[in-house]
Amino acid sequence: MNFSFIHLIFIFLFFHLIHSQDDKRPFIIGVFTQPTSSGDESFVPWSYINFIQASGGRALPIHFNASHEEILDIMKSIDGILFTGGSQDFFPFNSTWIEAAKLIYNNAIQLNDNNHPFLLWGTCMGFELLLCLTNNDPSTITNGFDSVNVNLELIFTQFARDSNLYSKVPDTLFYNLTRFNLTYNDHHWGITPDRFNSLSNLYDFYNILSTTKDINGRSFVSSIEAKKYPFFGVQFHPEAALSLFCDSENYPHSSDAKLFAYYLSEFINSNPRNSHDIDPSILFELQGSHLLWDGNIDCMFGDYYYQI
C-alpha cells in the first residue's frame, strides 16, 4: 500500500477524533480581506477559501474596511482568522487595513486570555504581518530573499517535533519535508533566524519551528508557533498544493506536498473551537452573500473574489 495513502488515513482518523468531540457545526475560520489597488474594494483570494474548506471548515470573509465593532462582534462567533498571502504595503503602519489587523491581533490575545479559544494563522505575507504586529514595527521584516516561485525543503528546529503544529505529522512525511522540496515559496521579504532571535518581542513570544534556505543559501524563518497562544505562521504557501495550477508557476503537486497541505488544513480546523452560540447572521454570511467572483483567474491566488 502506498505510504502516502497510509499517512492520509492516519491523519484523517486522528483529526476525526478531535472533530467528533463537537460536530454540531463546522469550524468557522475568518479570512482577512485585502484592499484592491484602488483601495475601493475588499478582496480575498479563492485559494485560501479552498484551503480551509478542504478539510471541512467554513470560511467567512472578514472585511478590512468593516467597522471595528462589526469585526469584534464577528470574532465572538468564529474560531479563528487567517491572514493571507499577498503584496500589501505595511507602510504606513496605521492604514485602514493595518489598523483592522491590529484590532484582530489584540482582540485574539484578549479572547484567549479570557479562556475563549481563538486561532490566528498567517501565510507568507500573513506570516510577515503577524511578526510585524507582535513587534509593533513594519520594519521587523527585511527584503532581499531570493525565494520567488520556488519549492524548498524545511529545516526543522528542536522545537518542531513537540510543537502543536508538527507533532502529529507522520514520521515519513516529517522526514521527507527535510529531504525534498515540498513547500512552495514566493517572497522577497522575510526574516533571518538571527534577526528573529535578536528581537525580544518575537523571541519571547514565538518558537521557531523551521527555517529554510533561499536559492542563494540565505536562511529565513519558515514556520513559527506562539508559546502561549494558538498563533501560527508559515512563510510558504500550503494552499498552492491543493488549489493552484498554472504552467508558469512551480506549484508542487506531489503526493507528499498535497498530504502536508491537507494536514495543515486539518490542523487549522481541529484547534479548540469557540464554545459560544453562533450569531445567525454569521451563518447567513457563510452562504457567500458577501462574495462575488470578478471573472478573473490569477496564477498566484486562483480566482479573486470581491466584496459586493
- Pairwise CA distance, residues 114 & 264, whole Å: 26
What lies within 8 Å, CB to CB, of 128 at 6+ separation is: 90, 122, 140, 141, 187, 189, 190, 191, 235
HSE at residue 104, side-chain half, CA atoms within 13 A, is: 35
- Strands (DSSP E) along the chain, which ranges? 28-32, 34-35, 42-45, 58-62, 80-83, 119-123, 147-152, 155-156, 183-187, 206-213, 219-226, 231-234, 292-298, 302-306
290 has catalytic annotation = no
HSE at residue 141, side-chain half, CA atoms within 13 A, is: 26
Among residues 124, 132, 187, 290, the one annotated as catalytic is 124
- Total count of residues recorded for the chain: 308
- Pairwise CA distance, residues 26 & 56, whole Å: 7
- Distance set, CA 281 to CA 32, 52, 77, 121, 288 (Å): 18, 20, 10, 24, 12
7 has catalytic annotation = no
- Pairwise CA distance, residues 225 & 198, whole Å: 17
Among residues 19, 63, 237, 290, the one annotated as catalytic is 237
Catalytic residue positions? 124, 237
